[in-house]
């Protein structure tokens, strides 16, 4: 190992520590110094690009990650990170094939299903039996299952595997065959199968072509009137960005103090599954949520949904600088205005919007 490599590795370690401690300006300077110390290191370029994407500078991140990709001869970590940067800029046709590299990165834990049938790469689906295999978080699954009825409309005989907590919701909403993926299950032998997170890319859809009419519904008999505001102040603690996306206690208390506010968190509602939560959402006037699965659910039902977004590690799907979402026309995005701004400006904006 050369002295330049040793220096670059030390700088990268210091930069990652600074970023974890939310010393973002210091982290950026250290990542830059690491690249300058060893400009031939794919790791230095990758780390700089990954950081720039996390702080919302996706165009700059893309430049660094392309350099990393060239130096690494296609390392899957850099392919995936580049795909995320490209998707966050709205270039879906280019970004989705890169994001498929997620299955090649063991640290992500996103192992691709091993099925003895052809994996779908975008072939004509008319008259074909088609299996969708779920992956990633509940919010991701909700976001992507809109394409099950889209494929059915193009002649596919669609089977959707689901998590037990989602089975009733999906079976009552999508108009396709839904099978709970638990234990040994029987299902029609498919002509093709695909991971749910690859659906958009394999369908060949651009950002402007995403089907975005409401596609999830509450169970039959759920109340449809009553009003009020459903609130979600936190997501799963295991989520890698939960420290940034979930509200601290004081901000959560402020949101819950809004007139008509009621918690939609399953711990508070005792909802047994997502269908139960959909039934609670149906009569509400509005849902206000951090970036978690209930936000996806409410927006997929067409409910007015205000989503509170952190400035650090904003998810790619919400893009940059927009108050709307091409995925969910009923959604409105409230963003932290800066990396060190905290949640008070977001809650100020929510209160102003409610007063208006």
Give the domain 129-204 fold: Rossmann fold (3.40.50)
Does 129-204 match 229-355 in CATH topology? yes
What CATH number is given for 229-355 in this structure? 3.40.50.2000
Residue whose pair of structure tokens reads 């759920």 in the numeric block: 222
Determine the pLDDT at residue 4. 56
Q: What is the DSSP string of 137-187?
A: -HHHHHHHTTHHHHHHHTT-EEEEEE-GGGHHHHHTTSSSEEEE-SSS---
What are 174-211's pLDDT values in tens digits?
999 999 988 888 999 999 999 999 999 999 999 999 99
Tell me the C-alpha distance between 6 and 279, whole Å: 57
Q: Where are the domains of the chain?
A: 3-104, 129-204, 229-355
Domain 3-104 is of which CATH architecture? Alpha Horseshoe (1.25)
Tell me the C-alpha distance between 62 and 53, whole Å: 8
**Could you tell me which residues come within 8 angstroms of residue 128 by beta carbon, excluding any fewer than 6 positions away?**
155, 156, 157, 190, 191, 192
What are 86-95's pLDDT values in tens digits?
999 999 999 9
Helix (H) or strand (E) holding 37: helix 24-37
Helix (H) or strand (E) holding 192: strand 192-195
Determine the pLDDT at residue 1. 46
Question: Does the pLDDT at position 6 exceed 80?
Answer: no
Question: Does the pLDDT at position 214 exceed 60?
Answer: yes
């Amino acid at each position: 190992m050369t002295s330049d490599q040793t220096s670059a590795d030390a700088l990268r370690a210091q930069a990652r520590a600074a970023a974890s401690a939310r010393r973002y300006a210091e982290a950026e300077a250290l990542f830059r110094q690491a690249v300058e110390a060893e400009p031939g290191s794919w790791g230095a370029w990758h780390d700089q690009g990954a950081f720039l994407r996390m702080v919302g500078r996706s165009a700059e991140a893309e430049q660094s990650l392309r350099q990393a990709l060239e130096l690494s001869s296609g390392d899957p970590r850099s392919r995936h990170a580049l795909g995320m940067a490209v998707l966050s800029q709205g270039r879906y046709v280019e970004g989705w094939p890169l994001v498929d590299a997620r299955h090649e990165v063991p640290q992500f834990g996103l192992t691709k299903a091993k099925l003895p049938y052809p994996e779908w790469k975008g072939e004509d689906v008319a008259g074909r039996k088609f299996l969708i295999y779920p992956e990633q978080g509940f919010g991701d699954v909700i976001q992507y299952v809109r394409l099950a009825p889209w494929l059915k409309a193009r002649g596919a005989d669609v089977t959707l595997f689901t998590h037990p907590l989602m089975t009733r919701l999906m079976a009552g909403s999508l108009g396709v065959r839904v099978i709970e993926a638990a234990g040994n299950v029987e299902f029609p032998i498919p002509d093709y199968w695909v991971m749910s997170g690859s659906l958009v890319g394999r369908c060949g859809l651009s950002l402007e072509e995403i089907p975005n009419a409401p596609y999830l519904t509450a169970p039959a008999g759920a109340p449809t009137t009553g009003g009020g505001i459903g609130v979600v102040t936190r997501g799963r603690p295991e989520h890698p960005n939960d420290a940034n996306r979930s509200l601290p206690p004081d901000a959560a208390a402020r949101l819950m103090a809004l007139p008509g506010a009621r918690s939609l968190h399953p711990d508070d509602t005792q909802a047994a599954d997502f269908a139960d939560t959909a039934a609670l959402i149906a009569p509400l006037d509005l849902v206000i949520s951090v970036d978690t699965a209930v936000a996806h659910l409410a927006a997929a039902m067409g409910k007015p949904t205000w989503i509170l977004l952190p400035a650090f590690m904003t998810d790619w799907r919400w893009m940059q600088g927009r108050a709307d979402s091409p995925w969910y026309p009923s959604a409105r995005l409230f963003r932290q205005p800066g990396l060190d701004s905290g949640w008070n400006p977001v809650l100020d904006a929510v209160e102003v919007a409610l007063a208006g």
